[in-house]
Structure 1
Amino acid sequence: MSFLNLSIIWLICFVATAATQTCEIEDSKFYSLKCQELSSLEEINDFPTRNLTDLQIINTQTKLTIGAANSSLNMPRLSFLDLSHVPRLELLSEGFSNLPYLMHLNISDCGVEQLLASHFPTVCPIIEFDASDNTLSVLTKDLLSKFSKLIFAVFANNSLTHVEVPYMRSLGILDLSHNNLTTFNITLGNCPYLKKLYLNNNKLTQFQITLPAEIVNSSVEKVFSLKALDLSNNSISELIENQFELLGELV
């Protein structure tokens, strides 16, 4: 095969590969983009990103890497990031910490094995977080403590064996269903606005709700916000006596 023919084949392959990496404007003001086959957020260089608020990435073949040290990423206003169509996501040390206004994050079905506190900014503004359908095994207190504004959290369909729930003043919905949890303890005083807790389809043999001591010892009736609790499809043989009496009506 001649050098010319090899060059033509190489050029065709290069053009075909480059053509798969695209970004489309979702609105006329460059506030929203949909991109395909990105290997890093820094590759969005054909559009101004400083005012970008919404970003969706769809990869079928390309691994996406986020969080490199000394990154040149410049997306100070990004608030919505959908990576649910990225089957291979690699989070480096800084993760999403360079996105200070990120409020809605979807990393479901991305093959993520671990989430670290360093992946998120010190003051984390995320209010909706979907990390379902990954292979996470642990959610530590150091990690979850970052999410002081989190309202909606989904960690369903992972491999979780240990979850530590710290004080999360805004948390309203927590989905830990379809994991490998054998025990789970939660202090409702840490999550005063928790309305729905899903723990179905785990391996729970023990479940305990701890009420704040000042409530247990008080004669004043306290109405907690928890309205829905799903413990179905577990191996719980008995529940601690009277632990639900002060919760009010559950669905």
Structure 2
Amino acid sequence: MLFTRRNFVASAAAATVAAQARGKPNFVFILADDHAGYVLGCDGNRQAETPNIDRLASQGTRFAANYCNSPVCTASRQSFLTGQLPHAAGVTVLSTALDPGKPTIAKQLKTAGYTTAVFGKMHFNRPASPGLHGFDEMFTEGELNRAWQAAGGKPLPPGTAARTLPWRPFQTPAYEWLNAGNLPYPRFENEMRSAFLLGRVREYLDTSKDKQFALWVSFQEP
């Protein structure tokens, strides 16, 4: 079965319910780049199909008046992780690295006996290593992108025209698919970076059923 973001949310919800039955909840933090809050069925959007997120919202607590602390990706992520405003966390621009000595939610949960892991885009701007910022296991963007590219994918259909984007003509050029609107998208869904990421997340969930865990899953796609 293709492990998509939709059935991941469903399985993650089941994992937290199972943990609550044991008396101590697991934590799953799900982040996505550029995902506006109004693009959710639970927010009244009639085009967005988000049944599992809607179910989480109906069974839990939905905060309808949240404000991002920074429009910059790195600063916003580290503000969320530390519970501090960007200037207090010391991360205000895209390339700033979070000080390893800063308090984080992951460190607090480790102190409470949780196993911690992070998968996906986090913009720590440091090489991933066990223990960094309180995470026992890390599979963040650098390692993720290298592993995803090494895994390869299905070839494009014959005749798919492409050109190198002029703003990135270096070692790993970006490509613009000239007829992208006609590509058979479902055929390539399993080769998307998010699907590859979720394969690794599923492995983690399968081996962590008997653990108290706190898991961060951060998608680069909205």
Say yes or no: TM over 0.5: no
Larger Rg: 1
Higher helix fraction: Structure 1 or Structure 2? Answer: 2
Q: TM-score, normalised by structure 1?
A: 0.21
Q: Which has the higher contact order (CA 8 A, sep 6+)?
A: 2
Q: TM-score, normalised by structure 2?
A: 0.23
